[in-house]
Amino acid sequence: MGVAERLAAPAVGPHYHRRMTNSPAATQPAADAPDDRPYSPGLEGVIAGETALSKVDGANGRLTYRGYRIGDLVEHGTYSAVANLLWTGDWDPRARLSTAAVPEPVLAALRALPRTAKPMDALRTAVSSWGATEGVTYPPTVEQARALTAFSPSALAAFARIRQGKDPVDPDPSLDLVAGFLHQLKGEPPDAGDARALDAYFIVGAEHSFNASTFTARVITATNSDIASAVCGAIGTMKGPLHGGAPSEVVDQLSKMGSVERAEAWLRGALDRGERLMGFGHRVYRAYDPRAAALRKVAEGMEHQPDWLQLAIQVEDMALKLLAERHPERPLKTNVEFYAAPVLQGVGLTPDLFPATFSLARHAGWTAHILEQAANNRLIRPDVRYVGPPERDLPV
């Protein structure tokens, strides 16, 4: 049995009871019989599949893509090379991917949106329109994954300019994907340092195992739906603030502090009020997020360090110290959003573009999971426990 073939197969473990026979007596419990199968809210701890794409070791703060450490990929690779690695399994540091032109029907759809529309809504609309325009069908292919990943940055940049009353900028095939995105966003050649920092952000955001949006994409693919539909669903999931909205909240937090001198008093006040410090703690990581470490290293190497970054570096040390004092029982370490925020702000993106830019980065992982799911597919259809009233007669 292959990797994706077992995706929806019941997992033996503390959270799942596997039926050991296909007999009707075993699979059809008596009416109103209690359902004593274990239940894990949010599927936490449930093994819902297998993947060869990434390994998240939350206890030890480690992340690998197809076995390669995230820090090494950031230091020696590009987003284009990492995307190719995820799609094909082959590491080629010379792999190139440039942004692609936006078809006219998609531009028409973007122009029809109100200028007040959220960038995430615009990106979702663009991907849906692209899928219809290109006539994308199942099964997904690596060529489709490349085409969609190359298209989406151009579409987001086009919307960002349209809402400012500006014309979209055509792709420059001489630029790699992330530099090309900055070029189309700003209408001028990108600063090399900014492009490098944003490329690092795209790499650390490319893939993260069975997160909510990736699982959504796999569920959609499991129905034999097309790659555009699956990515649309993933974007919709990413739009939720519990998944993709944290970097902009970090910017808001740093803005309220304003300066290093005011930072400690602000942090203490927030903790006294029981508020959460954005950019710290993670559902999976119990150690320092390796993506944050890799991103901080690149950000610190920027020739022109933005003020936001300098403030973030000093605030981080204060916050970690205070969190250790207040919550010695549980580790709350820096996560990737904390350094994503100053990097995205530093390269000139407005906070409302942060979740959509995160979605651009995640295209490589989403599409790789879509390919993996389709390779040996099984419909994902979990059970649910009924907690309503018992079977009863209709009043007459």
Would you list the DSSP string of 159-173? HHHHTTT-PPPPP-T
Residue type, 133: T
Beta pairing partners, 65:
54, 68
Task: Give the count of alpha carbons within 13 A of 90, CB side only.
Answer: 5
The whole-model pTM stands at: 0.85
Q: Which of 364, 369, 312 is CA-nearest to residue 337?
A: 312
Residue 266 Rama label (left phi>0; alpha psi -120 to 50; beta): alpha
pLDDT of residue 300: 77
Residues 6+ apart with CB under 8 A from 49: 4, 6, 7, 8, 210, 218
Q: At which residue do the structure tokens 């919307």 appear?
A: 159
Beta pairing partners, 56:
63
Pairwise CA distance, residues 180 & 190, whole Å: 8
Query: Quick check: 304 and 197 in contact, CB under 8 A?
Result: no
If you ran DSSP here, which 8-state letter would residue 235 be given? Answer: H
pLDDT in tens, the chain (396 residues): 443 433 333 333 333 333 333 444 445 555 567 788 888 888 888 889 999 999 998 778 889 999 999 999 999 999 999 999 999 999 999 999 999 999 999 999 999 999 999 999 999 999 999 999 999 999 999 999 999 999 999 999 999 999 999 999 999 999 999 999 999 999 999 999 899 999 999 999 999 999 999 999 999 999 999 999 999 999 999 998 777 666 677 888 888 898 888 999 999 999 999 888 887 876 676 677 888 888 888 877 777 666 777 788 889 889 988 988 888 877 788 888 888 877 888 888 998 999 999 999 999 999 999 999 999 999 999 999 999 999 999 999
Q: Give phi and psi for 314, each to the nearest 5.
A: -75, -35
Pairwise CA distance, residues 132 & 128, whole Å: 6
Pairwise CA distance, residues 230 & 220, whole Å: 5
183, 208, 316, 337: the catalytic one is 337
Does the annotation count 337 as an active-site position? Answer: yes
Q: At which residue do the structure tokens 């010695």 appear?
A: 328
Residues 6+ apart with CB under 8 A from 157: 99, 168, 169, 181, 184, 185
Domains and their CATH numbers in the chain:
63-244+365-375 (1.10.580.10), 246-346 (1.10.230.10)
Pairwise CA distance, residues 296 & 316, whole Å: 11
Pairwise CA distance, residues 142 & 148, whole Å: 10
Beta pairing partners, 54:
65
Pairwise CA distance, residues 287 & 264, whole Å: 23
Q: Which helix (H) or strand (E) holds 70?
A: helix 70-76
The CA distances from residue 268 to 273, 342, 385, in Å, are 9, 22, 43
Does the annotation count 282 as an active-site position? Answer: yes
Q: Which helix (H) or strand (E) holds 62?
A: strand 62-65
User: How many beta carbons lie within 10 A of that of residue 239, not counting itself?
Assistant: 20
183, 207, 208, 282: the catalytic one is 282
Helix, strand, coil tally for the chain in percent (to 5)? 55, 5, 45
